[in-house]
């Protein structure tokens, strides 16, 4: 059984003397219960409890949360001797180290603040006493609030809930009468992981912007696309677990509008909405556009039990396992490095030119809403957040048809270079113009001079900056059947793509990749399909991937989706920037990790010095031009996860959720 503490609080005229039991005969009492689902002692070794009446601290003490075994939850009882209705404030601060200022009996001489003295989390609760009642005041220390300093503005009556700074005030009318089964998971009413999460699934997105999700197969839940196997139905209830920082921490949520989830429509009890602060953690930015300190990188749902409430503790053995990894509450070590922490890696910058054949042979592409939607969603995928994209039509009706030199100004692009999230809408507008006005489209069979289009696109990409400024630069050709059209005297188009792939400048690599996708009006290609063979040669010649191929989407929209997510995966995954100061750079013994939302598991990647560029086939992470690269199977799995997640989201018309990558300093 977990040990709890009951501490008497002394001060003249305000609080009574020693409270010997939370269930004593005092008619009026507040019992604060401290609990958490973070890992102990890795994330927290000490908690400090401050009690204030008015603006004055009247009690302060510190307590270890691990001493051979975990010692949370804990409780603190306080009894008034003065006027009923006056407020008392409990402040609980979690520390990663046992510094003298933290454990000193005189700790009340200096207020605790997140970011100082190894303080990682602070939670306040202010409420009045209610006469003739012994009420329970929950003090949860949730990972969503780690490293969130709500005192930075000088408002010491605030607290953190779901990553947001809000008032510390609590409506005392909503507090329940205290009993041990509200805090300690030793009764039959506790929340059981074995019973409630014996099978879990990823949720289906209903509204990406406001974080509304559904249990797969639930009433009102969107259907999965045909290429994604159905997830098992897990019952008629609903519970939600979130995964932070790629698996650094996990937490079971309560049904609670401020810190957990709600059910917007009682007629659809398995469709839920995350609290606004948690939704910000999903997106990685707050309402002001500032990056959040931590991320929710995965969500798991199960329907075996009714939703967990804020007053339902997790069963003791399950909570011990969450906090320490063992049901007994004994951690593998009581001492962990102070530096143990996670930090998100940002996707390296990339650049892409999209070439779209503008002839009657592409009518089907211009008119198919589904294809345009898939293209738009893939361009807006979070993996493309740092990718700059430009677009131009082929032919343009300008000097290109006259076989002008293969250079071009950036202004020659139909859609000028900008970040993918901005360009997406502009490309959609240009395609819509063509579908509404066929006179803007060149006649079928018009010479496209693909070779010249490639050379001009390569030139425009190089004008953006040196190769070292980007992880990858590429050209994506969406055409129908005239891939052999070229200017007299130029090499064959596959040779041009190969030369761009292998290019150097001043002795340094200057590569640009090329992708090819067939779209348009050819339902049954003639035999032999020479254009398909040529497009395939272009795709193979323009890539270092030995498995590269053309994507023939003339008769299959799925092939078009595959093509777009091949580009998303190649440009938007597996290469990341080093963290910026003051965060430390990635060390050789750090691990890199991400959460695969389609497989419901964390993928961890260790250092491999043979991982040096995109040709590397070893498993592990390495360094390339100062960046962090993931190689081998972990990269393949990440790209597969992006594609599968994109397929599920695209079926509902939503942008796929991000799969953020984290570096974790060694915790052993």
- State yes or no: pLDDT of 11 exceeds 60: no
Q: Residue 12: its pLDDT value, please?
A: 26
Chain segment 512-529, per-residue pLDDT in tens? 999 999 988 766 666 678
Q: Are strands 249-252 and 239-244 parallel, antiparallel or unpaired?
A: antiparallel
Q: Residue 9: its pLDDT value, please?
A: 33
- Which range is least confidently modeled, 54-58, 632-636, 638-642? 54-58
Mean pLDDT within 261-276? 97
Cα dihedral 98→102→103→107 (10° resolution): 180
Q: What is the mean pLDDT of the chain?
A: 87
Chain segment 540-563, per-residue pLDDT in tens? 999 999 999 999 888 787 888 899
Task: For residue 419, give the nearest of 641, 575, 579, 571 by alpha carbon.
Answer: 571
How many angstroms separate the CA atoms of 477 and 194, rounded? 51
The DSSP letter of residue 549 is -
How many angstroms separate the CA atoms of 536 and 199, rounded? 43
Strand partners, 273: 212, 262
Task: For residue 90, give the nearest of 131, 135, 55, 139 by alpha carbon.
Answer: 139
**For the chain, which domains are there?**
29-182 (2.60.40), 191-312 (no CATH), 350-572 (3.40.50.410), 577-664 (no CATH)
Residue carrying structure tokens 């991000």: 658
Report CA Rg, the chain. 29
How many angstroms separate the CA atoms of 314 and 396, rounded? 65
How many angstroms separate the CA atoms of 355 and 448, rounded? 11
Chain segment 382-430, per-residue pLDDT in tens? 999 999 999 999 887 655 555 766 667 888 899 999 999 899 999 999 9
How many angstroms separate the CA atoms of 570 and 577, rounded? 16
- State yes or no: pLDDT of 584 exceeds 80: yes
How many angstroms separate the CA atoms of 472 and 513, rounded? 8
pLDDT category, 139, cuts 50, 70, 90? very high
Torsion 277-280-281-285 (CA) sign: negative
Chain segment 329-353, per-residue pLDDT in tens? 887 665 555 657 899 999 999 999 9
Contact 389, 423 (CB under 8 A): yes
How many angstroms separate the CA atoms of 563 and 518, rounded? 10
Contact 510, 462 (CB under 8 A): yes
- State yes or no: pLDDT of 169 exceeds 70: yes
- State yes or no: pLDDT of 530 exceeds 90: no
How many C-alpha atoms does 363 have within 13 Å on its Cβ side? 12
Residue 512 has phi, psi (to 5 degrees) of -135, 130
Could you list the beta-strand ranges (E) of 339-480.
342-345, 350-357, 387-394, 415-419, 472-479
């Amino acid at each position: 059984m977990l040990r709890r503490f009951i501490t008497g609080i002394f001060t003249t005229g305000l609080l009574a003397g020693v409270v010997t039991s939370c269930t004593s005969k005092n008619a009026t009492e507040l019992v604060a219960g401290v609990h958490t689902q973070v890992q102990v002692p890795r994330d927290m070794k000490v908690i400090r409890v401050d009690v204030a009446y008015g603006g004055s601290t009247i009690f302060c003490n510190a307590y270890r949360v691990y001493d051979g075994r975990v010692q949370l939850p804990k409780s603190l009882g306080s009894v008034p001797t003065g006027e009923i209705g006056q407020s008392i404030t409990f402040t609980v601060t979690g520390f990663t180290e046992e510094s003298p200022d933290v454990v000193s009996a005189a700790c009340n001489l200096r207020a605790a603040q997140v970011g100082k003295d190894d303080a990682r989390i602070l939670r306040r609760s202010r409420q009045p006493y209610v006469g003739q009642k012994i009420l329970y005041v929950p003090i949860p220390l949730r990972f969503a609030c780690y490293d969130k300093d709500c005192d930075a503005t000088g408002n010491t009556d605030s607290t953190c809930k779901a990553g947001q700074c809000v008032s510390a005030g609590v409506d005392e009318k909503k507090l329940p009468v205290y009993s041990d089964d509200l805090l300690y998971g030793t009764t039959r009413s506790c929340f059981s992981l074995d019973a409630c999460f014996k099978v879990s699934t990823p949720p289906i997105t209903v509204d990406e912007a406001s974080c509304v999700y559904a249990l797969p197969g639930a009433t009102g839940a969107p259907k999965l696309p045909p290429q994604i196997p159905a997830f098992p139905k897990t019952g008629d209830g609903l519970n939600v677990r979130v995964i932070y920082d790629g698996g650094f921490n996990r937490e079971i949520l309560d049904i609670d509008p401020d810190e957990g989830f709600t059910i917007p429509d009682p007629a659809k009890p398995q469709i839920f909405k995350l609290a606004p602060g948690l939704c910000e953690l999903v997106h990685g930015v707050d309402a002001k556009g500032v990056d959040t300190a931590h991320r929710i990188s995965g969500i798991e749902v199960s329907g075996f039990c009714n939703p967990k409430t804020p007053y339902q503790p997790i069963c003791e053995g399950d909570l011990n396992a969450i906090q320490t990894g063992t049901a007994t509450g004994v951690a593998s070590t009581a001492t962990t490095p102070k530096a143990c922490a996670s930090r998100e890696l940002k996707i390296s910058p990339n650049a892409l030119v999209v070439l779209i054949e503008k002839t009657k042979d592409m009518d089907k592409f211009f008119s198919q809403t589904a294809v345009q939607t898939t293209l738009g969603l893939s361009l807006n995928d979070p993996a493309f957040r740092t990718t700059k994209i430009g677009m131009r039509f082929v032919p343009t009706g300008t000097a290109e048809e006259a076989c002008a030199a293969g250079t071009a100004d950036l202004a020659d692009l139909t859609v000028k270079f900008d970040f993918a999230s901005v360009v997406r809408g502009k490309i959609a507008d240009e395609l819509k113009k063509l579908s509404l006005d066929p006179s803007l489209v060149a006649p079928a069979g018009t010479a496209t001079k693909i070779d010249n289009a490639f050379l001009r696109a390569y030139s425009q990409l190089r004008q953006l900056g040196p190769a070292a400024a980007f992880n990858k630069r590429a050209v994506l050709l969406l055409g129908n059947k005239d891939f052999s059209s070229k200017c007299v005297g130029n090499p064959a188009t596959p040779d041009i793509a190969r030369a761009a792939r292998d290019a150097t400048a001043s002795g340094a690599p200057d590569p640009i990749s090329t992708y090819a996708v067939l779209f348009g009006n050819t339902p049954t290609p003639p035999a032999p399909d020479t254009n398909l063979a040529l497009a395939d040669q272009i795709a193979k010649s323009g890539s270092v991937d030995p498995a590269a191929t053309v994507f023939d989407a003339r008769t299959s929209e799925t092939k078009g989706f595959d093509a777009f997510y091949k580009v998303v995966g190649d440009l938007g995954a597996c290469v990341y920037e080093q963290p910026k100061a003051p965060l430390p750079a990635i060390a050789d013994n750090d691990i890199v990790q991400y959460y695969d939302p389609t497989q419901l598991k964390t993928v961890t990647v260790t250092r491999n010095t043979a991982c040096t560029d995109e040709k590397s086939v070893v498993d592990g992470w390495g360094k390339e031009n100062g960046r962090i690269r993931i190689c081998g199977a972990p990269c393949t799995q990440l790209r597969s996860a992006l594609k599968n997640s994109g397929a599920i989201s695209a079926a509902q018309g939503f942008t796929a959720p991000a799969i953020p990558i984290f570096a974790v300093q060694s915790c052993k």
